[in-house]
C-alpha cells in the first residue's frame, strides 16, 4: 500500500512537471533532470539554445532523482541527467535509468578515465578534494592526505559529515590506494585530529579556519572560487582570504578529483536533442563556460580553467579511474561508521 501511494505521488509530481514545462515528446525541446543547481547550468543551457534553437526544460532535485525516474517508468520525460558526483552517476547506471551512448564527438572530447567503460555516463568537469589551510597559522605549502592522520595536527582539522558523498569519495580513494585495513587506520587518525564533530558544508570549514577553530580542513576546490566572487555575501570573501589551497600528494599519485557529469536517460523521449546537448556540453564552448561559471576544471584536453582557479596553483589529478574509486564507496561508508568518524575526536 505504501509503495503504491509513493508511486502515485511520484507520477502526480511528474504530471505537474510536464504540465508546467513541455510535453514528454516535443520537437525542438529537451528535458533535463538535474542535481546541479539551476543557476550554475543556466548559462550553458542558454548558449546551447542560442546555438541550436532547442529549448531546455530543467527539473532540479536535491535528492531522489533516480527514484523519480524509476517511478515514472517508460513514460518518464527525462532526456538528460546532470549530476555532481561520481556516486550519483554510478547510482543512476546501477538503477537502470540510463542507456549507453557511443558517440564519436563525446568520446573524442572526454578522456577514457572520465567515462563509464560501458558509455552510461560521462564526466564534464572535475574538482579537487583539497586541503584548506590557514594562511596565518600553517607555514607549509605542500601536504599529503596521509599526513592528515599525523598527531601533529591533533585538534586542528575540520571537515563536514564523514558520510557526505564528497568525503566518502576521498575515503574510497584511500581504500583503492592503500587497502581497507590501512585506510581504516588512517581514518581513525584523521578522526582523532578533528577539532570538533564534523558539521556544516565545505564553505563552513573555511569559515571555521577564519574564526580560528581549526587550521586545516577538507573542501572542494571550486568552493574557494565561489567564495572569492560572492558579491551577495561579502563575509565569504573574508573566509576565502583566510585560507590557501593545498593540493595533496602532488609529489606522488596526485590529488583526488571528483566529477560533475551527464547521462542519457533510459527512455529519453527526445533522444536526438538529448544527444545534441550532450555533444555540446563536451565541446570547447561549453567547457569554457562551465569552467568560468562553476570554478571547476574542464575535462576537455587543452581547455583552460578560469583565472580564479589558476590562482590556486596547479593541480596534478590522481589518474586512478573513477569507476575503480566508486567501487570502494560502500566500504568507505562502512568505515566512517566503524571508526565513529562523525562522533569526532575520541582521545
Cα(141)–Cα(205) distance, rounded to whole angstroms?
A: 19
Cα(199)–Cα(342) distance, rounded to whole angstroms?
A: 8
Residue 56 pLDDT exceeds 70:
yes
Residue 25 pLDDT exceeds 80:
no
Residue 122 pLDDT exceeds 50:
yes
Cα(35)–Cα(82) distance, rounded to whole angstroms?
A: 6
Q: Alpha carbon of 50 to those of 54, 285, 335: distances in Å?
A: 8, 12, 48
Q: pLDDT band at 274, cuts 50/70/90? A: very high
The predicted-structure confidence for 215-231, as pLDDT tens digits, reads as follows: 999 999 999 999 999 99
Query: What CATH number should be reported for the domain whose range is 2-125+259-303?
Result: 3.40.190.10
The predicted-structure confidence for 230-243, as pLDDT tens digits, reads as follows: 999 999 999 999 99
Residue 84 pLDDT exceeds 90:
no
Residue 9 pLDDT exceeds 60:
no
pTM over 0.85: no
Q: pLDDT band at 24, cuts 50/70/90? A: low
Residue 21 pLDDT exceeds 50:
no
Q: CATH top-level class for 127-256+314-343?
A: alpha beta
Q: Domain spans of the chain?
A: 2-125+259-303, 127-256+314-343
Q: Alpha carbon of 151 to those of 40, 74, 165, 200, 245: distances in Å?
A: 39, 55, 26, 24, 21
Residue 8 pLDDT exceeds 50:
no
- Residues 312-332 have a mean pLDDT of 90
Residue 5 pLDDT exceeds 60:
no
Judge whether 222 is annotated as a binding position. Answer: yes
Q: pLDDT band at 109, cuts 50/70/90? A: very high
Among residues of the chain, what percentage have pLDDT more than 90? Answer: 79
Residue located via cell numbers 546537448: 277
Amino acid at each position: 500500500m505504501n509503495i503504491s501511494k509513493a508511486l502515485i505521488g511520484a507520477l502526480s509530481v511528474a504530471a505537474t512537471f510536464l504540465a508546467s514545462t513541455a510535453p514528454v515528446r516535443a520537437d525542438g525541446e529537451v528535458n533535463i533532470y538535474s542535481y546541479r543547481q539551476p543557476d550554475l547550468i543556466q548559462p550553458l543551457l542558454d548558449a546551447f539554445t542560442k546555438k541550436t534553437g532547442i529549448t531546455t526544460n530543467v527539473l532540479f532535485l536535491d535528492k531522489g532523482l533516480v527514484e523519480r525516474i524509476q517511478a515514472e517508468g517508460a513514460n518518464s520525460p527525462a532526456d538528460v541527467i546532470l549530476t555532481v558526483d561520481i556516486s550519483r552517476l554510478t547510482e543512476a547506471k546501477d538503477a537502470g535509468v540510463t542507456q549507453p551512448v557511443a558517440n564519436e564527438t563525446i568520446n573524442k572530447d572526454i578522456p577514457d578515465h572520465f567515462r563509464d567503460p560501458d558509455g552510461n555516463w560521462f564526466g564534464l568537469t572535475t574538482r579537487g578534494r583539497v586541503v584548506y589551510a590557514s594562511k596565518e597559522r600553517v607555514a607549509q605549502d605542500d601536504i599529503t592526505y596521509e599526513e592528515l592522520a599525523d598527531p601533529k595536527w591533533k585538534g586542528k582539522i575540520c571537515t563536514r559529515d564523514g558520510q557526505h558523498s564528497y568525503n566518502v569519495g576521498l575515503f574510497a580513494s584511500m581504500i583503492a590506494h592503500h587497502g581497507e585495513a590501512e585506510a581504516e587506520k588512517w581514518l581513525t587518525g584523521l578522526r582523532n585530529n578533528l577539532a570538533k564533530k564534523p558539521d556544516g558544508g565545505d564553505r563552513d570549514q573555511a569559515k571555521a579556519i577564519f574564526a580560528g577553530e581549526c587550521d586545516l580542513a577538507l573542501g572542494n576546490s571550486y568552493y574557494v572560487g565561489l567564495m572569492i566572487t560572492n558579491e551577495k555575501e561579502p563575509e565569504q570573501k573574508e573566509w576565502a582570504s583566510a585560507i590557501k589551497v593545498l593540493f595533496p600528494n602532488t609529489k606522488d599519485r596526485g590529488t583526488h578529483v571528483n566529477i560533475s557529469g551527464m547521462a542519457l536517460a533510459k527512455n529519453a523521449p527526445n533522444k536526438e536533442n538529448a544527444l545534441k546537448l550532450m555533444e555540446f556540453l563536451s565541446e570547447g564552448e561549453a567547457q569554457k563556460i562551465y569552467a568560468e561559471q562553476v570554478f571547476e576544471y574542464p575535462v576537455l584536453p587543452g581547455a583552460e580553467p578560469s583565472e580564479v582557479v589558476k590562482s590556486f596553483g596547479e593541480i596534478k589529478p590522481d589518474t586512478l579511474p573513477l569507476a575503480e574509486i566508486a567501487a570502494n564507496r560502500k566500504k568507505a561508508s562502512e568505515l566512517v561508521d566503524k571508526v565513529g568518524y562523525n562522533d569526532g575526536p575520541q582521545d
